[in-house]
Amino acid sequence: MNASSSKENKASKLERRYRAALRRYLKDTTRAKPASALKLGHEAAGLGLDVLELAAIHEDVLIDEALATKTACVRQRIVRRAGKFFAEAIVPIEATHRTALENNATLVRLNRELEQRTREISASHRKLTVEIARRKAVEQDLRKSERQSNRLLRQSRQLQEDLQRLSRGILSAQAEERKRISRELHDLVAQTLTAINVHLANLKKEAAQNARGLKQNITRTQTLVERSVDKVLSLIHISEPTRQLASSRMPSSA
């Protein structure tokens, strides 16, 4: 026997007991409250019967009992007592129905709250997705900036190394140039002084013999000294006005 057949069988038994209990209550006028009606109502609610289904059973019994009575007064009494029985029987069903309505209202409220929460979560998820995308973009920009900074740092270090090498080269070249100029000046001064000394010795010998030749040798000696001075000034990079000033201070050949 499946669940549907079992429920129909229980409903059929409940209907028979309901009919019997209602007839007993209608005949026993001494009882004011139908005690069995409440129990039958609980069974009906347990079987899932609604008020209309129980009302159909109740109506069948009421019609049979009312038609069996000829006087209107008795029929009215039967209808009133049957109404009390029915009102007592449907209390559990109404309570179940009311509970179901309350549960349904609670369920509707929870569904609405759930929908609202779902929308909020969806909105938060969208914001989170946007924020994650933004942070990834920022992270990529930072990584790109870091790579550029590292590249610029490497270039700066390379330029510093090149500049240091260039500076060392310039300093070395300047040192070599100073050494060369120093050697040339030393050699030039030494050669010039030697030549002047030779000329002076010759002048000493010719002084007593030939006055005219003495004058020519003095002129050649002055020319040698002027050329030597010009060479020295060019080596130490004296400006043209300074060179002219130095030349103007040399004694003339006259």
Model confidence over 164-175: pLDDT tens digits? 888 788 888 878
Model confidence over 28-59: pLDDT tens digits? 877 767 878 889 889 888 888 888 888 988 88
Q: Between residues 67 and 108, which one has the greater pLDDT?
A: 67
- Residue 88 scores a pLDDT above 80: yes
Contact assessment for residue 82 and residue 27, using Cβ atoms and an 8 Å cutoff: no
- Supply 245's token pair: 């000033």
Model confidence over 208-247: pLDDT tens digits? 676 666 677 778 777 877 887 777 777 666 444 544 544 5
Distance from C-alpha of 152 to C-alpha of 131, rounded to nearest angstrom: 31
Distance from C-alpha of 25 to C-alpha of 17, rounded to nearest angstrom: 12
Can you give the pLDDT at residue 162?
Answer: 84
Tell whether pTM > 0.85. no
Non-local (6+) Cβ contacts of 234 within 8 A are: 243
Contact assessment for residue 75 and residue 69, using Cβ atoms and an 8 Å cutoff: yes
Non-local (6+) Cβ contacts of 153 within 8 A are: none
* Closest listed residue to residue 232, CA positions, set 174, 192, 204: 192
Which range in 8-12, 200-204, 209-213 is most confidently predicted, on average pLDDT? Answer: 8-12
Can you give the pLDDT at residue 253?
Answer: 47
DSSP code per residue over 153-208: HHHHHHHHHHHHHHHHHHHHHHHHHHHHHHHHHHHHHHHHHHHHHHHHHHHHHHTT
Distance from C-alpha of 85 to C-alpha of 203, rounded to nearest angstrom: 171
Contact assessment for residue 189 and residue 229, using Cβ atoms and an 8 Å cutoff: no
- Residue 61 scores a pLDDT above 90: no
Q: Between residues 93 and 236, which one has the greater pLDDT?
A: 93
Can you give the pLDDT at residue 239?
Answer: 46
Q: Give mean pLDDT, residues 88-115.
A: 72
Non-local (6+) Cβ contacts of 252 within 8 A are: 222
Of the given ranges (13-27, 179-193, 199-213, 214-228), which has the lowest mean pLDDT?
Answer: 199-213
**Chain centroid, CA 84 distance in Å:** 73
Residue that has been written with the tokens 């038994």 in this structure: 13
Can you give the pLDDT at residue 90?
Answer: 93
